[in-house]
Amino acid sequence: MSLKAFHIAFIVVSIVLSLVVTVWGVREYLAASSGSALLVALVAAVGGVALVVYGNRFFKKLRDLP
């Protein structure tokens, strides 16, 4: 497996993690009104979207990289 393929797999796992952290943060906020948990959830959600955009662009741009 090349670094390119490993990087794509890593980004996919990171996107899944951002989803998990978002759900965790929202649940913590609803259960204990934790402001820091809500902030973590927000950053994770934004980060997840950013990773989807980045992953898509990375995959398209580097498809032809030797």
Partner 1 sequence: MVEIPYNVEARPDTGLYNAKLGIWLFLASEVMLFGALFSSYVLLRTGDPNFMTIPHEIAEHLGGHGESHVWSDQLNVPLAFLNTLVLIFSSVTMVMSWVSLKLEDFGKYKLWMGLTCLCALGFMVIKAIEYNAKFSHDLFPSSGNFLAIYFTMTGLHALHVIGGLIVNGYLWGPGAKMWKTEPERFTNRIEVAGLYWHFVDLVWIFLFPSLYLL
Q: Residues in the site for partner 1, rule: CB under 8 A? A: 1-4, 6-7, 10, 13-14, 17, 20-21, 24, 36-37, 39-40, 43-44, 47, 51, 54, 58, 62, 65-66
Q: Are 7 and 58 contacting, i.e. CB atoms less than 8 angstroms apart?
A: yes
Burial class (CB in 10 A: 0-12, 13-18, 19+), 15: middle
Min dist. Cβ of residue 60 to partner 1 (A): 13
- Name the maximum alpha-carbon separation found in the chain: 51
Min dist. Cβ of residue 58 to partner 1 (A): 8
Min dist. Cβ of residue 1 to partner 1 (A): 8
